Structure formats: C-alpha cells, structure tokens
C-alpha cells in the first residue's frame, strides 16, 4: 500500500518500521513533524525534550541500553547537541542510533544557513542524505543497519525542500528489534582520557573501513551513465531531483552517503566522463573533498554558496533557460497575528525607548516595523546572556531588557538567568509566556502541563523556577494589559537587582473561543494604534478601520487610543 | 504533467488545497510531489505551495515559467507569482485583497486595479469571489475548496474523483459544507 507522505512523516514511518523504540526531539522547522508523526504509532516511546542536547543524550542512553533510538532537530539544534554527538561518536552504540538533522538553505524559517554536513566529517559519524520521501524511509532503515554494523551513531540529513515535500511512499511492516543486552564496558562507555584515547583509534579505523564500504553501496551511491565522455554531474539530496529534471540526459553520480563520501566510486566515475561538475547547495563540501582526493572538478565557481538551487538555476548554467522575472510588488513579510499577546509588550518596550535583546520565536517579529522594538537576535537563549553582556560592558548603564519565550526559556534561557543572578548584572528579563512553542506550530513543552501525546504531565512552574535561580524581584502580568506591562517594566528597569516579568496569555491561535470585538467611532487619525502593527487595523481617508474578520478582541488598541475612539462593540 | 502553483497568505489554507490535489493524484493513479513551506512565513507572510502530478515526478518544486495553472488566494499574491505561469497557462484569482503590513503602514501602495492588469497580460485569467461563495456555502474557511471547484472545471479534472479527494481530506463534520463549496466553485467560475 502506498501513501502520499510528507518526508518528515516518511522518516517517522521508517523509524517505526526499523523497530525504533525511543525518540526524543525538540521542535524546529523543518524537522518538527518527525516526532509528531512518530508519536502516533503504538508500542513506541516519543517525547519532546527541553532542548536538542537533552534529546540526543536521551537517544544515546536508549541506544546504549540496547534499543534502537532516534533524535531529531533542525540544523541549529545540532549546534546545541554537538557536545554529546562528538563523544557518542567515540562510545558507539549498542542498539542503533540515528540523529536526524534538517538544514534550511534559503532560511525559510531560520537564523542562519549553516551546512550540517561538516558535523559528520568533524565528528566522524556517517551521514546519509535522501532526496525524497520514499528514499527517506529506506535511508532510515539503512542508517540503523549501518549504525549497528559499524557501532556508530548515524546522521540523516535533509533540507527544507526534502523535509517539507510530499511524495508517494510504499508502506512496510514494523520489524520488531529485541533490546540488546547491555554489558558494562567502561572502556567503551566511560569517556575519560585513558579510555577515550583508545576509542579515538577505534573511530579512525571505523571511518577508514566505512570509507571503503560506502563505495560498495551502489544502490544509494550510484552512477547513472548516459553518454560517456560527456559532462558528469555529482550531486545529492534534492539537487539530484533538480538535475534529473534540468539535464535528463546528463551523466549523474548520485551520492547517498555524504559522509564518508564514496571516493573510490567517485574516482571511477570521474574517469568515465569528460568533466566533473559538482552541484550542491550551501558550502563546497563535496567539491572540496573531491579536490582533496585528487579529482579535478568544478562547483562553486558556477553556483552560489547562498540560498537554494533550482531547476532553472541549473539550466541557466547549461545555457538552456531564460528565466521570467518576478513583478516588483509590495513585500508581504510575516507579521504577528491579530490578537498576538506579544504585540502590547513590544509596543511598551518601543515606547520606553529600551534596547531589546530578543530571542528565537514568533516574538522575533517584534523587530519588524512598525513595532521595530527588537535590537538583537542570535540564537535560542541568547537574549539573556547578551543582556547581561550589555550591562557588564556599560557598567550597568545600558537601558536594555531581555525578551524570551516560555519554551525558549526552558530550552537554554534558564542558564543565562542563573548567570545574571550569580554575576549580579541587574538585568530585566521578560518571559513572554504564551503556553506553547508557537512558531513551529504549537508543540507542548515542560511548562504546558502536557506531553507530546497531549497527555497530562507535571508542570515546570516558571515563576518558581526563576525564584529558585535566585530572582527576588518577580512580577506576573497579563500580556493584554498594556498599562500593567508598562508599570512592571518601569519598576524592573529601576531596580538594581535581576528582575523578571512573566507576561502571560496563551497564543491567540490556541484560543479560538469567540471574543467581543471592537468598533471605531470618530477616529482622529492620530496614528497611535497604527504603531501596533496589527494586521486587523488599516488606515483610510476617514480614519482607521478594523477588519472584524481578523480582530479577536484583544483590546490592546482600545488601551493605546488616546481619544477613546476605539471601544468594545 | 500538471504543475499547479498555489499562492496565498499564510493562514489561508493553501496547504489543504495541495493535499487535496495529492489525494486526487493517488486516486487517479498518478505520481505526485508537493512542496510547501512551514514556519515563519505561515504567520501572515507570502506562501507558495507547489503541486506536481504526472507519470514520474523528480523535483517537488515548479520552476519559473513552468506552471500550467496558478491558483492565487489573494490578488497581490497573484501578481507576485505570475512569472511562474507557462505561456498559455491558466491564472485563477480569488478577488479578496489582504493588505500587507508595508501597505497598512503607508510605506508601500497596494497596486490599483490588479484585475485589469492581469487580464490584459494573461489571456486565461479568471477572477472569482471565492470567499463570498464559501460564506454562502457555510464558512469563509472553505475558500480553498471553492478554488478547487473552479480548478476542477477550468482544468477538466475528473469531477467525481476530485469530490472524493475533497471528502477524504476534510474532517467529517465539515464534509457536506466543503462539498457544497466545491460545487459552487465548479458552477460559478
């Protein structure tokens, strides 16, 4: 039976069929749906971890205990999880271990465009890269075989165009895997120097063996020869699909194991073609490795290091396309939803002229005009550390605050807060608690009271957590109450101690209950409400109008209007 | 090979429309790939979803100048996506206009009379009051299914199979409403 599946769903299916028992993940576009779909199967265990490092550690533990395990994350999540990854490469596994990492060329929903393939090379962990949903499911199964055969974690890399595309997938049966017996082996699992030195030798030997082995995997590292002595294209992932469409008659070498690269097979391919061209998104990862191995090839002199490739971009280089250009029309950037509880908070921070150290989530949109309130955004949790750094650099003079979400605070913000308390910077932190992981599509986390399956779970109480970190000045406000937010912020920035304000209100997309709407009378066109950047409010010649289809009745505009022209309807 | 590009604003239900097309492909025994973007752009930004149906599909993404049809859920998004259309392709546009933030703020101007501009440039342009029709069927949220009804008629898709695809892709309690929206779209275009 075949089914049309999102690749992330196919990966979950592959894990299920491969007998995976334990999956741990932190949400991150474009990887989130793997855990969500895996959780739907019976007889398995799946969870949201507070961050990717924990997720990988859980999976490593489950694998060492003898079960097949998986951890999933987006590319920047692998930075967080890099610590266990590099050393799990030394310990190896017992039951198979696969770590899925989803890169985002073009940055559809990310803060950078890093290329995770270098992690595989650097950690000496094999990495597979499928090019569509059907292949993804098969690659997951192969990844578990490799993991157990070579006693190593295996990375599975996908990019947005693979992760978020659908294709037909043939369903298979689950093959139950017995839990392998765990045997105490400190030489293998206790990575202190004396043991790790020996394991590093094992890792290098494994790497060498794998390097030869992957050239024999001719199903996934395969030549598609059509015209010998013509150009030969080397590619992997979704780029393979673009190449097949743009240049259907070209010689192609499709790489399935991006680490180790099948160099023996690639050398053989290079001898059969006139010229080798590597087509890859982001970094010249394959190209550099091939050149280092003595294969003459071209790559990044033809294609960009930035953004996604496409059929047309490939055709352009081979003289076959004239690309129709897009009409120049007003941009439509993403915006905070009408009724978003973050809006009033950023309005206040902007009004008070504060420097705002922001973080990763929907509230990053507080940087966009007209709110234009956010000054910095680097990575998850960075808001708090950066706010502390601002204070220390300016002897406490800087007028800055840190803003972070509830899920993000638990992900990696809390350590920053501990640092600020411990090292006494007197920062002000606003935790925008919307009771969910918003941007990725509403996943549960340790403070929502529910687990991945939606079952009741113990709640991490954010205010108690802050107090336990040593915070003495703490206020809880309703995010829709503009005045209360303003008062709390003014008090906090005046305090010499670390102050935390928890602004509570569930994400507006979660709460769909009908609410009272608002109406406008005798608008004086002062423009104050327009500074909220609410998509439901627009300007006309006769003053502002509020789109009743979009308005959810948050009443923030009522509080902002100085002439009381906006009222409850 | 059939390439259908669905353009709209995050939150308008473009994902459901592509899933219905995927289901239609399955029911008609064709290969299919869909490509969509999740995450930040879903918060009111421009979104495009690609649906490709044929005997063997490689790329999940339609290339510029390669779409047989564009379904635009919003007029400005039709303007933004029109370079994807093949010569002789069909452009179906929901008449609804949603102001993007730069236009709301007055930093940019929403183009006047998109309808005549598109009609004079692209021969097979159809405008439809899909949201109004969906409301008539019972819910403005069925705008996407109204558009699918139009597509079915304009493209000559197998109507019974499309109806089955719609029925299988929507929650049971909204099935009747959506089938009505589909029928109205089919008739009014």
Domain positions in chain B: 2-130+151-166
Q: Report the CATH architecture of A2-216.
A: 3-Layer(aba) Sandwich (3.40)
β-pairing, B85-94 vs B67-72, is parallel
| Chain A stretch 43-102, residues whose beta carbon is closer than 8 A to a beta carbon of chain B | none
**A122: phi then psi, degrees, rounded to nearest 5:** -70, -40
Distance between start and end Cα atoms, chain B: 23
The pLDDT of residue B14 is 87
**Residue A295 CB: number of other CB atoms within 10 A?**
18
Q: Give yes or no for residue B4 having a pLDDT over 90.
A: yes
Which segments of A241-360 are extended strands (E)?
251-255, 257-259, 275-278, 355-357
Q: Is the pLDDT of residue B13 over 90?
A: no
Query: Contact B83/A4, CB-based, under 8 Å?
Result: no
pLDDT of residue A323: 77
Q: What is the pLDDT of residue B69?
A: 97
Q: Which of B8, B22, B104 to mutate to test the interface with A (most CBs of A within 10 A)?
A: B104
pLDDT at B39: 67
How close A262 gets to chain B, by Cα (Å)? 23
How distant is the Cα of A176 from the closest Cα of chain B, in angstroms? Answer: 30
Which residue in A74, A126, A134 sits closest to A97, CA to CA?
A: A126
Task: Enumerate the CATH 3.40.50.970 domain ranges in chain A, comma separated.
Answer: 2-216, 342-510
Minimal CA–CA distance to B78: which of B113, B29, B33?
B113
**pLDDT for A147:** 98
- What was the pLDDT predicted at B12? 85
Which tens digit of pLDDT belongs to each residue from B86-129? 999 999 999 989 999 999 888 899 999 999 999 999 999 999 99
> Is the minimum CB–CB distance between B32 and chain A shorter than 8 Å?
yes
**CATH 3.40.50.920 region(s) of chain A?**
222-317
Beta strands in A287-375 (DSSP E): 355-357
CA distance A258 to A481: 52
Q: How far is CA A273 from the centre of its chain?
A: 39
Cα of B45 to nearest chain A Cα, Å: 4
Which tokens in the block code for residue A170?
């043939």
Cβ atoms A566, A522 nearer than 8 A: no
Residue B90 neighbours by CB under 8 Å, 6+ apart: B68, B69, B70, B124, B126, B154, B155
The count of other CB atoms within 10 Å of the CB of residue A276 is 23
Contacts of B140 in chain A (CB under 8 A): 549
pLDDT at res. B105: 85
User: How far B168 CA sits from the closest chain A CA (Å)?
Assistant: 13
Dihedrals φ, ψ of A272, to 5°? -90, -10
* pLDDT tens for each residue of B45-72: 899 999 999 999 999 999 999 999 999 9
What is the rounded CA–CA span in Å between residue B172 and residue B26? Answer: 20
Q: Is A333 on the interface with B (CB under 8 A)?
A: yes
Does the domain made of A518-568 have the CATH classification 1.10.3720.10? no
Burial degree of A208 (CB within 10 A; 0-12, 13-18, 19+): exposed
Residues ≥6 apart with Cβ < 8 Å to A281 = A105, A159, A237, A238, A239, A307, A308, A309
Do A271 and A290 touch, CB atoms closer than 8 A? no
Interface membership of A261 toward B (CB under 8 Å): no
Contacting residues of B for A440, CB less than 8 Å apart: 38-39
Q: What is the DSSP string of chain B?
A: -EEEEEEEETTSSHHHHHHHHHHHHHHTT-EEEEE---SGGGTTSEEEEEEEEESS---SSPPTT-EEEEEESSHHHHHHHGGGEEEEEEEEEE------HHHHTTSS-PPS-HHHHHHHH-TTEEEE-HHHHHHHHT-GGGHHHHHHHHHHHHHT--HHHHHHHHHHHS-GGGHHHHHHHHHHHHHH-
3-state secondary structure of A206: helix
A173 CB-contact burial (10 Å; exposed 0-12 / middle 13-18 / buried 19+): exposed
Residues in chain A within 8 Å Cβ distance of B18? 166
CATH node for B2-130+151-166: 3.40.920.10
Which architecture characterizes domain A342-510 according to CATH?
3-Layer(aba) Sandwich (3.40)
| Contact criterion met (CB below 8 Å) for A497 and A426 | yes
How large is the ipTM?
0.94
> Residue A223, SS3?
strand
> Using an 8 Å Cβ cutoff, are A373 and A346 in contact?
yes
Asked if A520 and A544 count as a contact pair (C-beta separation under 8 A), the reply is yes
Closest CA to B148 of B53, B60, B13, B21: B21
Q: Give the model's pLDDT for residue A516.
A: 73
Cα A293–A295–A299 angle (5° rounding)? 110
CA A455 to chain centre: 24
Nearest 5°: the CA angle A79, A85, A89 is 150
| Six token digits for residue A357 | 């150290």
For residue B41, pLDDT beyond 80: no
Which of the following CATH numbers is that of domain A222-317: 3.10.450.40, 3.40.50.720, 3.40.50.920, 3.40.50.2300? 3.40.50.920
Report the C-alpha gap between B22 and B34 in whole angstroms. Answer: 7
Q: Find out whether A556 and A567 touch, Cβ atoms under 8 Å.
A: no
Residues of chain A below pLDDT 70: 512, 514
Contact between A83 and A54 under an 8 Å Cβ cutoff? The reply is: no
pLDDT of residue A242: 97
Give CA–CA dist A448/A461, Å, rounded.
Answer: 9
Residue positions counted in chain B: 189
State the count of interchain CB pairs (< 8 A) between A and B: 172
In this predicted structure, what is the pLDDT of residue B42?
Answer: 72
Which residues make up the CATH 3.30.70.20 domain(s) of chain A?
A: 518-568
Which of B 141-180 lie inside 8 A of A, CB atoms? none
Which band of pLDDT confidence, cut at 50, 70 and 90, is reported for residue B43?
Answer: confident
Distance, CA of A554 to CA of A403 (rounded, Å): 21
Average pLDDT over residues B167-175: 95
Q: Using alpha carbons only, what angle is made at residue B184 by residues B178 and B189, rounded to the nearest 5 degrees? A: 130
């Amino acid at each position: 039976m075949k089914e049309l599946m999102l690749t992330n769903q196919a990966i979950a299916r592959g894990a299920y069929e491969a007998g995976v028992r334990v999956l741990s993940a932190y949400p991150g576009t474009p990887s989130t749906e793997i855990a969500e779909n895996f959780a739907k199967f019976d007889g398995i265990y799946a969870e949201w971890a507070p961050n990717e490092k924990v997720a990988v550690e859980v999976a490593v533990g489950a694998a060492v205990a003898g079960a097949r395990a998986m951890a999933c994350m987006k590319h920047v999540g692998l930075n967080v999880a890099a610590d266990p990854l590099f050393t799990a490469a030394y310990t190896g596994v017992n039951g198979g271990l696969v770590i899925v990492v989803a890169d985002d060329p073009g940055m559809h929903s990310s803060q950078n465009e890093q290329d995770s393939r270098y992690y595989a090379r650097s950690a000496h962990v094999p990495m597979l890269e499928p090019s569509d949903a059907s292949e993804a499911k098969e690659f997951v199964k192969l990844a578990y075989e490799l993991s157990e055969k070579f006693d190593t974690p295996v990375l599975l890399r996908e990019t947005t165009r693979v992760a978020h595309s659908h294709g037909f997938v043939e369903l298979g049966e689950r093959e139950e895997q017995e839990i392998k017996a765990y045997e105490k082996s400190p030489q293998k699992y206790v990575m202190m120097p004396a043991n790790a030195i020996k394991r590093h030798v094992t890792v290098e030997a494994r790497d060498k063996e794998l390097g030869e082995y992957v050239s024999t995997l001719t199903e996934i590292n395969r030549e598609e020869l059509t015209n010998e002595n013509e150009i030969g294209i080397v590619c992997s992932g979704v780029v393979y699909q673009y190449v097949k469409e743009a240049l259907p008659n070209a010689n192609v070498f499709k790489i399935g194991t991006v680490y180790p690269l099948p160099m023996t097979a690639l050398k053989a391919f290079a001898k059969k073609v006139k010229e080798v061209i590597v087509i890859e998104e982001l970094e010249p990862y394959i190209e550099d490795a091939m050149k280092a191995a003595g294969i003459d090839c071209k790559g990044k002199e033809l294609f960009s290091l930035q953004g996604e490739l496409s059929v047309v971009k490939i055709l352009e280089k081979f003289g076959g396309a004239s690309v129709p250009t897009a009409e120049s029309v007003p941009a439509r950037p993403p915006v905070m939803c009408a009724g978003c509880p973050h809006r009033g908070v950023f309005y206040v921070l902007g009004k008070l002229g504060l420097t705002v150290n922001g973080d990763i989530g929907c509230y990053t949109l507080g940087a966009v005009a007209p709110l234009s309130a956010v000054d910095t955004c680097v990575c998850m949790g960075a808001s708090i550390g950066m706010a502390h750094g601002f204070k220390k650099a300016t002897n406490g003079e800087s007028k800055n605050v840190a803003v972070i979400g509830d899920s993000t605070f638990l992900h990696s913000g809390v350590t920053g807060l501990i640092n600020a308390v411990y090292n006494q910077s007197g920062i002000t932190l606003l935790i925008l608690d919307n009771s969910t992981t918003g941007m990725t599509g509403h996943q549960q986390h340790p403070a929502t009271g529910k687990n991945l399956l939606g079952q009741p779970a113990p709640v991490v109480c954010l205010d108690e957590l802050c107090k336990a970190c040593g915070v003495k000045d703490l206020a809880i406000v309703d995010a829709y109450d503009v005045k209360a937010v303003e008062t709390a912020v003014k008090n906090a920035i005046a305090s010499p101690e670390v102050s935390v304000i928890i602004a509570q209100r569930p994400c507006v997309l979660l709460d769909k209950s009908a609410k009272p709407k608002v109406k406008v009378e005798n608008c004086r066109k002062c423009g104050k409400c327009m500074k909220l950047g609410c998509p439901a409010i627009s300007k006309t010649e006769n003053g502002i109008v509020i789109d009743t289809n979009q308005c959810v009745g948050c009443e923030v505009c009522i509080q902002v209007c100085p002439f009381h022209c906006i009222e409850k309807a | 090979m059939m390439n259908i590009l669905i353009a709209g604003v995050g939150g308008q239900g473009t994902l459901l429309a592509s899933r219905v097309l995927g289901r239609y492909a399955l029911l008609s025994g064709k290969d299919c790939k869909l490509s969509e973007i999740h995450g930040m752009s879903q918060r009111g930004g421009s979104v495009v979803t690609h649906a490709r149906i044929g005997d063997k599909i490689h790329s999940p993404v339609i290339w510029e100048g390669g779409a047989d049809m564009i379904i635009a859920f919003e007029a400005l998004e039709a303007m933004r996506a029109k370079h994807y259309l093949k010569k002789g392709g069909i452009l179906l546009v929901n008449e609804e206009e949603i102001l993007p933030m730069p236009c709301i703020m007055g930093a940019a101007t929403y183009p006047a009379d998109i309808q005549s501009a598109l009609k004079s440039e692209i021969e097979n342009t159809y405008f439809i009051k899909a949201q109004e029709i969906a409301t008539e069927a019972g819910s403005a949220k069925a705008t996407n299914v109204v558009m699918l009804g139009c597509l079915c008629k304009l493209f000559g898709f197998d109507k019974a199979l499309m109806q089955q695809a719609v029925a299988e892709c929507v929650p049971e309690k909204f099935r009747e409403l959506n089938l009505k929206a589909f029928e109205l779209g089919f008739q009014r275009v």
